[in-house]
Amino acid sequence: MSDKPQWAELFTEVVTSGLCTGCAACVIACPKDVLEYDRRGTVPFHIADDGGLDNCTHGERGCTLCTRACPRFRNWESEADHLRHGRDREITEVAGIGDVYLTRATSADELATGQDGGFVSAILNFLLERGDIDAALVGGLDEVEPWRTAPAVIRTRDEVEATAGSRYTYSPNLLAYPAAAESGAEKMAVVGMGCMVSAPAVMAARKTGKTARRLGLTIGLLCSKTFDEEIFDGLFLAAYGIRREEIVKMNIKGVFQLWLADGRYVEVPLKEAHAFTRSGCKNCPDFAAEHADISAGGIGAFSDWTLTIVRTELGRTIFNDALAAGVIEVRPGSDDPGAIALMNKLSTVSRKRWPEWAQGGPRRIPVTSA
């Protein structure tokens, strides 16, 4: 095996082994543009005339950037933990390291369009308007097909509002990076699930240079799984007669909750949705977006508040500044102990998904408690 691991190693150890989440970090890190992305399968692939599907001629000459960007390659979790916190996590830190709060936006608009407390929207608006970031990479909506998620670069309050809320199909938000960089953005925030927000940490730990530097702030979304696009026709339409363009909001709170344009509210049991689980999620060990600067989720007793985990020094500074500026309000996490217990339980469940045979994930630190 090469001591300079390249696409050939990434292909066998991550892409075809079942560890690949489809985060697209390898695609945006590749300086030779020989990696592309299959939006339907949510997987990267190597273009055939430059080494074939399973090898890369640039890799043979020493290029290792794709493996250095991948947040599932070899010792990724420990490297990201050390970069963010200077240490491996303790056994009890199943949901990663950080302090838990309940938060919500003080703006009525952000609260109305946000999925939970509109915290993520409030922070993005705050950072864009203060000039801390030039752009954010988020999950937007396809212009042609409603509810088809699509990576988006946003810069304005209107764009934050248009992309707020949660979709439960996969949006590889990092794929918006090239457009943001081409338009001159140097300071970017990434919003995304754990699979995406671990990438900038791993990239920085493995010194990928300017891509890592530009992806300066990460806002993670708690996540157990995403679903294939087929869920719209195969379940919602086939079993409930609901067309995707009728759905105005979705949430998952023990059941799939659907709000429809005509005012109806429909619940779909989660067990009916399991068959549509996206394959990239099946081995994912990270529920709580553990390497984000700040993570955000919707579990808990208070549906219009965001469960928020402040993880890093940068996250703490932004959180405090946003609070001082009055754009968010905050309650202690201890106001909802059930939410913290559920986060730890769901994190424990996810961490058990990392296969025994794989290197680098949570098995290195045995998980013993919820």
Touching ligand SF4, residues 208-227 (CB under 6 A): 223-226
Which residue has 């209107």 as its token pair?
158
Nearest to 42 by CA among 264, 192, 165: 192
Give whichever of 128 and 212 is closer to ligand SF4, judged by the CB atom: 212
The one among 188, 195, 294, 339 contacting ligand SF4 by CB under 6 A: 195
Smallest gap from Cβ 263 to ligand SF4, in A, equals 30
Q: How far apart are CA 138 and CA 134, in angstroms?
A: 13
Give the angle subtended at the CA of 16 by the CAs of 10 and 21, to the nearest 5°.
75
**Closest CB to ligand SF4 among residues 15, 152:** 15
User: What is the H or E stretch that residue 110 is in?
Assistant: helix 108-113
Q: How far apart are CA 234 and CA 241, in angstroms?
A: 10
Q: What residues from 343 to 362 belong to the interface with ligand SF4 (CB under 6 A)?
A: none
Q: Could you tell me if 252 and 266 are in contact, meaning their C-beta atoms sit under 8 angstroms apart?
A: no
Per CB under 6 A, the list member of 8, 15, 95, 358 interacting with ligand SF4 is: 15
Establish if 296 lies at the interface with ligand FAD (CB under 6 A): yes
Is residue 132 within 8 Å of residue 327, measured between CB atoms?
no
Binding flag, residue 98, ligand FAD (CB under 6 A): no
Measured from the CB atom, the residue of 44 and 117 that comes closer to ligand FAD is 117
Q: Is residue 43 a contact partner of residue 280, using CB atoms and an 8 Å limit? A: yes
Exactly one of 71, 96, 285, 298 binds ligand FAD (CB under 6 A); that residue is 298
Which residues are within 8 A (CB) of 316 and not within 5 positions of it... i.e. 6 or more apart?
Answer: 310
**What does the per-residue mask of binding to ligand SF4 show for 264-303, with x meaning CB under 6 A?**
----------------xx--x-x-----------------
Of 11, 101, 168, 354, the residue at the interface with ligand FAD (CB under 6 A) is 168
Chosen residue from 221, 231, 247, 273 binding ligand FAD by CB under 6 A: 221
- Confirm if 123 and 322 have CB atoms less than 8 A apart: yes
Could you tell me the two tokens for 254?
A: 């023990």
Q: Applying CB under 6 A, which residues contact ligand FAD?
A: 114-121, 138-139, 149, 163-168, 171, 173, 191-193, 221-224, 226, 252, 296-299, 306-307
